[in-house]
Structure 1
Amino acid sequence: MQKTNHTIHAGHHHYGWDRSLPPILTVAPGETVELDIQDASSGQLTPDSTVADVLAFDFSRTNPVTGPIYIEGAEPGDAVKLTVQHFQPSGWGWTAIIPGFGLLADQFPEAALHIWRYDSQALTPAAYGPGGRVPLKPFAGTIGLALAEPGLHSVVPPRRVGGNLDIRDLAVGSILYLPVEVAGGLLSIGDTHAAQGDGEVCGTAIESPMGAAFTIDLVKGANLKFPHFETSTPVTNHLDRKGYYVTTGISPDLMIGAREAVSGMIDWLGKAHQMDAAEAYMLCSVCADLRISEVVDMPNWVVSCYFPKVVFE
């Protein structure tokens, strides 16, 4: 395990990107930082929460990020290079349908909540109450730098300097490159997940507080327009073993295609596994992958929703 040079506790967090925020730590390129990261609810949801707590959610406290960290020598035009070293999961998490949020928000106006418990050491697949077991793959959903524009910017949407990317493959061993826009970069990290499907379709994954360690480096003069990343291993081997059941959506609009593919999967889960629609929607969010299958056969494009059969083995 990489030697840790610094530790940042969860109390050092903020709720928006702002270049004027004072850094809580300064690091030299090559150093490793261990962070204590809160879940996306900022502690508003607990292992004992009910759906009433979802309805009482304070959105001004959504998605806390730990930081910011000043990187010595980082200047606009450079890239911060982050290598994911390890995660220390907490053993519990939550997935929710939040009214007004998610790919199918219009179809699911009622709040719902599922509390997960999992083995924080072995990371064996987590049991899903209505049925199935979801393979786990911890990662941090939000990793970003400060924007050049002054003022406070929401953490919720992803941005050109990173932020709420929700890329499942930024797991242990992956390397992320973020374009620097302000001196020192001002790095912050949050929104740790125990598992997520590509698309995070209901708006939440297995939201789970945990520790995380990253080695911070610098690439001078990278001049990236958007984040880049590389992985060190295959990215779907935790799901591939039994194959997939796949639904599709076909439309000249990729968003409509995505919605139809997910709606089809929810219908299939209901018929094949007697699952309530809201439960199926949350399960898709944590383990089903949305993929663009083709974008060349105009005027219609194909979006596919891959559900791993291993969940129901």
Structure 2
Amino acid sequence: MAPLTPRLVVPIDVKKKPWEQEVPLHNRWHPDIPPVADVTQGELFRVEMVDCTGGQVRDDDSADDIKSLDFAAPHYLSGPLRVVDAEGVPASPGDLLAVEICNLGPLPGDEWGYTGTFEREHGGGFLTDHFPSARKAIWYFEGIYTHSPQIPGVRFPGLTHPGIVGTAPSAELLNIWNQRERELVEAGHESLKLCQVLHQRPLASLPTSHNCLLGKVARRDC
């Protein structure tokens, strides 16, 4: 018997912005964001997605896009998906959900990825003292292998990062998150010893409406 063809539940047009997609995306964890599709327990299905920057990084030799990356815009998520059993009963908070990722790969016509280091004044990185300026390398896929014109002579099997996969929090859990983050913001980094060495980075980041995308929730309802 031929293998099953996965059902495409979230298509992506790489020529469009995240907020222009036919099936709306989202970038907030919230239980009130409606599902865009139902999937059945045990079903094989396909989900397409944008990259973690939402298309801010371009396929070119310039690192200006890395230098000016808007950190409030990344991680547009495909979904939410509602998981139902054979009788159509949806999963609920507290249920155990196991997901098997059967395959990962670039979308046809978009077979490239990138690595980069951020500008010191724009977030930096683990090796900021050695690499204070923004840098970028574009990697092109050839089968399982990848190579970069910015790093000549290097070719290796690429392992695709699956990105962020998670479940929407219940309203109760969301309130716990927000309360915990709010207390950290109000107390300041001086309240924790760890932050004495991380004082330049935010310890907590409360959600804002900036670049908010809530799937099927109308913008006026944000």
TM-score interval w.r.t. the shorter chain?
A: 0.5 to 0.7
- Cα distance in 1 between the residues matched to 2:53 and 2:61: 12
> Which residue is equivalent to 1:4?
6
Root-mean-square deviation (CA), in Å? 2.7
Using a 3 Å threshold, how does the CA distance of structure 1 residues 16 and 49 change in structure 2: closer, same or farther? Answer: farther
> Which residue is equivalent to 1:123?
144
- Cα distance in 2 between the residues matched to 1:34 and 1:80: 17
Q: 1:136 aligns with which of 129, 134, 158?
A: 158
Shift of 1:8: 0.6
Using a 3 Å threshold, how does the CA distance of structure 1 residues 103 and 23 change in structure 2: closer, same or farther? Answer: same
Runs of 4+ in 1 over 6 A off after TM superposition: none
Deviating more after overlay: 14-23 vs 125-134: 125-134
How many percent of aligned residue pairs carry the same amino acid?
26
SS in 1 for 2:79: strand
Shift of 1:150: 3.4
Q: 1:87 aligns with which of 98, 104, 122?
A: 104
> Which residue is equivalent to 1:110?
133
Using a 3 Å threshold, how does the CA distance of structure 1 residues 81 and 129 change in structure 2: closer, same or farther? Answer: same
> Which residue is equivalent to 1:60?
72
Q: Deviations over 1:255-292 (max 9, x none)?
A: x9xxxxxxxxxxxxxxxxxxxxxxxxxxxxxxxxxxxx
SS in 1 for 2:163: strand
Structure with a larger share of its residues in strand: 1
- Cα distance in 2 between the residues matched to 1:105 and 1:2: 47
Deviating more after overlay: 18-27 vs 124-133: 124-133
Using a 3 Å threshold, how does the CA distance of structure 1 residues 108 and 124 change in structure 2: closer, same or farther? Answer: closer
Contact 1:126 1:135 in 2 (8 A): no
- Cα distance in 2 between the residues matched to 1:107 and 1:16: 34
- Cα distance in 2 between the residues matched to 1:91 and 1:6: 19
Contact 2:52 2:163 in 1 (8 A): no
Shift of 1:95: 0.7
Q: Does 1:23 align with 2:35?
A: yes
- TM norm structure 2: 0.60
Using a 3 Å threshold, how does the CA distance of structure 1 residues 134 and 111 change in structure 2: closer, same or farther? Answer: same
User: How do residues 1-313 of structure 1 correspond to structure 2 at under 5 angstroms?
Assistant: 1-10=3-12, 11=21, 12-48=24-60, 50-72=62-84, 73-89=90-106, 90-99=110-119, 100-119=123-142, 122-127=143-148, 129-148=151-170, 149-150=173-174
SS in 2 for 1:147: coil
SS in 1 for 2:6: coil
> Which residue is equivalent to 2:184?
none
| Paired letter, 1:92 | W
> Which residue is equivalent to 2:203?
none
SS in 2 for 1:54: helix
- Cα distance in 1 between the residues matched to 2:4 and 2:147: 28
5+ long unaligned stretches in structure 1: 155-252, 257-313
- Cα distance in 1 between the residues matched to 2:129 and 2:27: 27
Aligned residues: 153
Using a 3 Å threshold, how does the CA distance of structure 1 residues 118 and 54 change in structure 2: closer, same or farther? Answer: same
Contact 1:20 1:150 in 2 (8 A): no
| Paired letter, 2:30 | D
| Paired letter, 1:126 | H
